[in-house]
Amino acid sequence: MKSLGSIRRSFAPWNDSSAKPYISFKNVTKRFGDFTAVDDLSLDIYNREFFALLGASGCGKSTLLRMLAGFETPTSGQIILDGQDLSQTPPYRRPVNMMFQSYALFPHMTVEKNIGFGLKQDGMPKDQIAYRVAQMLKLVKLEKFASRKPHQLSGGQRQRVALARSLAKQPKVLLLDEPLGALDKKLREETQFELMDLQQDLGLTFVVVTHDQEEAMTMADRIAVMSAGKVVQVATPAEIYEAPNSRFVADFIGDVNIFDGNVVSSEGGKTQIAVSEDLTIVAEQNGSGPASGAAAFAIRPEKVRIAREAPANPGFNAVKGEIWDIGYLGDMTIYIVKLASGQTVRASRLNASRELENPIGYDEEVWVSFDDNAGVVLKD
């Protein structure tokens, strides 16, 4: 591990009230005809942050990025970069560069010319361009391909050229539109870590648009989960995963079990939710849960225990069911347990020992249980 890791862990300017955001979207709305792509959205991104916009297609994440790049103009609202309102700045004068989803490499130019294109536009002297291009080629390990044309490169190589081209001008902010979408799985995983290293080494602000939650979780300092033109939650990957603020986010990121019920009591830092005759959930209170009325309890599969023996306090955070389905993945096993209420619960168990003898099998009766602090209470 790099020593930079420790610096990174303490990087959380969003918790520091004195930190000034580097990029601010202020009540930004974008309409295309009747369709509202981005709806009164406000968002702050900090300097040197690796920020991910995550959402399904059509949620407005790409439009947001394109507005930052200047390809779309907000219908209303302001975009501020480093204290400067960008609304009157055309794309070719913005200190941001974008890596396009299609890479948008100029097919009639060599790799070298592609990377040097932006520098040439700035009127940089030829020898300096050559120097910087060589630097960039080294950075993305494409020194040998300098004089090739884009169509003579593989997908992964093209992706690196696109990256080198967008970094060549040393922009304040690098925008990445689905940067790894066209790569195969293995290459994608490798590139994720390369991008993270690059971002740290160069000390740039990265804003990445992706629909791949794994990609966002791996790379980003913070993630904004978007839906229907709005930001649903902005938080670190761990917060998004462990403390989703809504059913939508809980459901969108990873696997989740959701129990619907009614709040019975809410006192002493605990919320009790009556789910069914044989199950009452006692959960630690959190910001997003209601104090009364309908509520939902969301819990991740890996936090659900299954066992043959009855737990100490049956009925509270523990319920009986039978094994409905088993998915053996090698490193872990996923059990689908059907409760008496008809609901199925997904539990995953790390295969820490080899348990080849007497494993939990189909149709077996088991107890499903979890801890008070294992899940979150959500509004309905």
Partner 1 sequence: MTKLSNALFNRLVIAIPYIWLIIFFMVPFFIVLRISFSQTAIAMPPYLPVFSLSDGWQGFWDNIGQLSFDNYIWLTEDALYINAYISSLTIAFISTCLTLLIGYPIAYGMARAPTSIRPTLLMLVILPFWTSFLIRVYAWIAILKPEGFLNQFLQAIGIIDDPLIILNTNIAVYIGIVYSYLPFMVLPLYSTLEKMDESLIEAAGDLGCPPLKAFWTITFPLSLPGVIAGFLLVFIPTVGEFVIPDLLGGSSTLMIGKTLWTEFNANRDWPVSAAVAIILLLVLVIPIAIFQNAQAKAAQQ
Rule CB under 8 A: say whether 102 interacts with partner 1. yes
Give the position of tokens 């009452």: 280
- Interacting stretch for partner 1, rule CB under 8 A, among 130-138, 163-171, 178-186, 301-309? 163-171
Cβ contacts of 185-190, under 8 Å, gap ≥ 24? 187/155, 187/156, 188/215
Give min distance, CB of 23 to partner 1, in A: 16
Give min distance, CB of 136 to partner 1, in A: 13
Q: What share of the chain is helix, strand, coil (3-state, %, to 5)?
A: 30, 35, 40
- Interacting stretch for partner 1, rule CB under 8 A, among 4-12, 98-106, 247-255, 359-367? 98-106
Closest listed residue to residue 319, CA positions, set 261, 276, 255: 276
By C-beta, is 44 or 72 nearer to partner 1? Answer: 72
Asked whether 61 and 54 are in contact (CB, 8 A), the reply is yes
Give min distance, CB of 119 to partner 1, in A: 9
Site track 177-206 with partner 1 (rule: CB under 8 A), x = hit: ------------------------------
What backbone phi and psi angles, to 5 degrees, belong to 181? -60, -30
By C-beta, is 118 or 301 nearer to partner 1? Answer: 118
Residue among 12, 104, 130, 360 that touches partner 1 (CB under 8 A): 104
Radius of gyration over every alpha carbon of the chain, rounded to an integer in angstroms: 25
Rule CB under 8 A: say whether 106 interacts with partner 1. yes
Residue among 30, 132, 165, 222 that touches partner 1 (CB under 8 A): 165
Asked whether 147 and 110 are in contact (CB, 8 A), the reply is yes
Closest listed residue to residue 215, CA positions, set 164, 181, 173: 181
* Size, binding site for partner 1 by CB under 8 A: 26
- Interacting stretch for partner 1, rule CB under 8 A, among 96-104, 301-309, 337-345, 355-363? 96-104
C-alpha torsion sign, points 77, 82, 83, 87 = negative
Rule CB under 8 A: say whether 42 interacts with partner 1. no
By C-beta, is 147 or 351 nearer to partner 1? Answer: 147
Rule CB under 8 A: say whether 172 interacts with partner 1. no
Closest listed residue to residue 371, CA positions, set 297, 304, 274: 304
User: Interaction with partner 1 in 66-85: which residues (CB under 8 A)?
Assistant: 69-71
C-alpha to C-alpha distance for 235 and 252, rounded to whole angstroms:
14
Rule CB under 8 A: say whether 5 interacts with partner 1. no
Rule CB under 8 A: say whether 169 interacts with partner 1. yes
Asked whether 213 and 181 are in contact (CB, 8 A), the reply is no
Residue among 58, 91, 311, 314 that touches partner 1 (CB under 8 A): 91
Give min distance, CB of 167 to partner 1, in A: 11
Q: Return the axis-axis angle of helices 155-167 and 185-202, rounded to nearest 10°.
A: 20
Rule CB under 8 A: say whether 97 interacts with partner 1. yes
C-alpha to C-alpha distance for 299 and 261, rounded to whole angstroms:
14
Rule CB under 8 A: say whether 118 interacts with partner 1. yes
C-alpha to C-alpha distance for 33 and 101, rounded to whole angstroms:
25
Which of helix, strand or coil describes residue 122?
Answer: coil
For 10, residues 6+ apart whose C-beta sits below 8 A from its C-beta are none
Rule CB under 8 A: say whether 93 interacts with partner 1. yes
Give min distance, CB of 219 to partner 1, in A: 21
By C-beta, is 94 or 300 nearer to partner 1? Answer: 94
Residue among 85, 90, 126, 265 that touches partner 1 (CB under 8 A): 90
What backbone phi and psi angles, to 5 degrees, belong to 14? -70, -20
Rule CB under 8 A: say whether 321 interacts with partner 1. no
Asked whether 8 and 200 are in contact (CB, 8 A), the reply is yes
**Contacts with partner 1, residue ranges (CB under 8 A):** 69-71, 90-94, 96-98, 100-102, 104-108, 117-118, 121-122, 165-166, 169
